[in-house]
Amino acid sequence: MLPPLKNGEVLRSRYKIRERIGQGGMGSIYLAEDTRLKGRLCALKEVEYERALPEKIRDEARDQFLREATVLARLDHPNLPKVSDFFSNGPRDYLVMDYIPGDDLRTVLMEARRKKTFLNEKEVLSWADQLASALAFLHSQEPPIVHRDIKPSNLKLMPHGLIKLVDFGLVKILAPEEVTITIIQGQGTALYTPLEQYGGSDSHTDIRSDIYAFGATLYHLLTNEAPVDARRRFLEPESLIPLRQINPAVSQRTERAVLWAMSLHPDERPHSINEFRQALLGNREMPTLPIHTRRIHPVSTWDYLSHPPEATLTWSAAVLLLLSLLATLVR
C-alpha cells in the first residue's frame, strides 16, 4: 500500500486535501477543497488495487471501476450524495462526492446508549422512510444498484433532518451477463450482512441483501443493541432477541417488519424495498414466517390499543355493542 495523501496536496490540479476522514481496506476517504468552486468541500473516495493481482485482473478491475463511477455520476436523489467527478492518479482511482456534514447515526445511537435512553421510534421510522426512498431509487436503476454496506455509520444525519446514505465503496451494479470483479475487498459489515453476502461471491447477492442490512440497521437503532450476525443465527436459530424484549416501547408492527426483513433466507424477506416500506409504515400485512428468535414479548391490551389500525377496530366494535344495548333498552 502506498502512503496516504498529505494535507495540502492537490489532485487533478483542483482538489486540495484538507484531512483524511476515513480509512478502509482498499484506501482512504479525504475531505478536500474544490479550488475551482470557492467554498465547496467534497469527499474523495480512494480505491487502491492489490499489487499482487495479475496486471490483467487489475486492468479489468479498473475498467469496472470506471463503468460503475459513470453510473454513479448519473444518479441524482436527495438522500444520496452527488458523485460529481472521478479520475485516476497513478495506481489509485478516486470518486469525488458531496461532503455531507453532520453526525452519522452510529454516533447518535451511541449517545442515546450513553444516556441509557432509546431513540424515538417515530423519528427512527422517519429516517427509515428516507432510506427506503434512496434504496428504491438505487434498485430501480437499469441494471439495479445494490449498496451492500447499509449500517448506522453509513447514514449521515444533516442538521436540518435529512438523511444521506453514504459510502459507495461496496456498491455492485447488477449486470447478470457480466462476470464482476470485487473492486473493494470485503463483504460489508458482519453485524448487518446477510448470509448470502459471505464467502467472496456475488452470485447470490441482490436487492434483498440490502433489505436484510436495512432491517438489521433498524434493529440496532431501536434497541441500542447490535443484532446477532447471520452466521451465528444460522447455527443458533434462537439467538436473535426480539426488539420488544429489549425496548418494549417499539410497536408490534415495527418489530414484525424488522424481523421479516432479517429473515435468513432471501426468499423469506420482502421482495422489494417498497414491500418492506409498506409493511413498516403502511397497511401491508406481514406473512407468517418461521422467524427463529427468543420467546416473543407478550402482548398487553394497552400495546394492542396503542396502534391505530387495531385501536380503530376495537373502538368501532365497542361503539356498535353500546348502540345495540341502547336499542335493546329502548324497546
Q: Is residue 3 situated within a structural domain?
A: no
Give the pLDDT mean for 305-324.
54
**For residue 181, what pLDDT band results from cuts at 50, 70 and 90?**
very low
Structural domain of 213: 103-303
Query: Do 73 and 118 fall into the same domain?
Result: no
**End-to-end alpha-carbon separation of the chain, Å?**
91
Residue 127 has pLDDT above 60, yes or no: yes
Cell output for 232: 451465528
141 & 251 share domain: yes
Active site residues: 149
**Do 153 and 261 share a domain, yes or no?**
yes
Is-contact 200 99, C-beta < 8 A?
no
> Can you tell me the mean pLDDT for 88-116?
93
In a domain, residue 232? The reply is yes
**Do 154 and 265 share a structural domain?**
yes
Q: Is the pLDDT of residue 187 over 50?
A: no
* Shared-domain flag, residues 107 and 254: yes
Instruction: State the pLDDT at residue 299.
Output: 44
**Max intra-chain CA distance, the chain:** 94
Residues 69 and 149 in one domain: no
Residue 149 pLDDT class (50, 70, 90 cuts) = confident
Nearest to 65 by CA among 33, 40, 32, 89: 89
Take residue 166 and report the three cell numbers written for it: 453514504
Over the chain, what is the mean pLDDT?
Answer: 83
Please determine, for residue 317, whether its predicted confidence score (pLDDT) is greater than 60: no
327 against 21, higher pLDDT: 21
Contacts 24+ apart (CB under 8 A), 78-84: 78/133, 78/162, 79/130, 79/131, 79/133, 79/134, 79/137, 79/162, 79/163, 79/164, 79/165, 80/134, 80/137, 80/138, 80/164, 80/165, 81/43, 81/164, 81/166, 83/168, 84/42
Q: Are residues 90 and 214 in the same domain?
A: no
How many structural domains does the chain have? 2
Residue 87 counted as domain residue = yes
Q: Is residue 276 part of a domain?
A: yes
Which residue has better confidence, 304 or 79? 79
* Domain termination residue (choose one: 98, 122, 148): 98
What pLDDT is recorded for position 185? 38
Residue 61 within any structural domain of the chain: yes
Give the range among 66-80, 135-149, 276-290 with minimum mean pLDDT.
276-290
Q: What residue has cell string 460489508? A: 188
Instruction: Identify whether residues 110 and 206 lie together within a single domain.
Output: yes
Residues 131 and 63 occupy one common structural domain: no
Least confident window among 107-121, 257-271, 299-313: 299-313
- The pLDDT confidence band at residue 184, using thresholds 50, 70 and 90, is very low
CATH number at residue 74: 3.30.200.20
Residue 313 included in any domain: no
Residues 231 and 108 in one domain: yes
- Residue 304's pLDDT is what? 43
My answer on whether 63 and 182 are in the same domain is no
CATH label of the domain that carries residue 175: 1.10.510.10
96 forms beta bridges with 44, 85
Does one domain contain both 35 and 160? no
Say what the pTM is: 0.79
**DSSP character string of 117-144:** ----HHHHHHHHHHHHHHHHHHHTSSS-
Q: Which of 48-57, 165-174, 183-192, 270-279 has the highest mean pLDDT?
A: 270-279
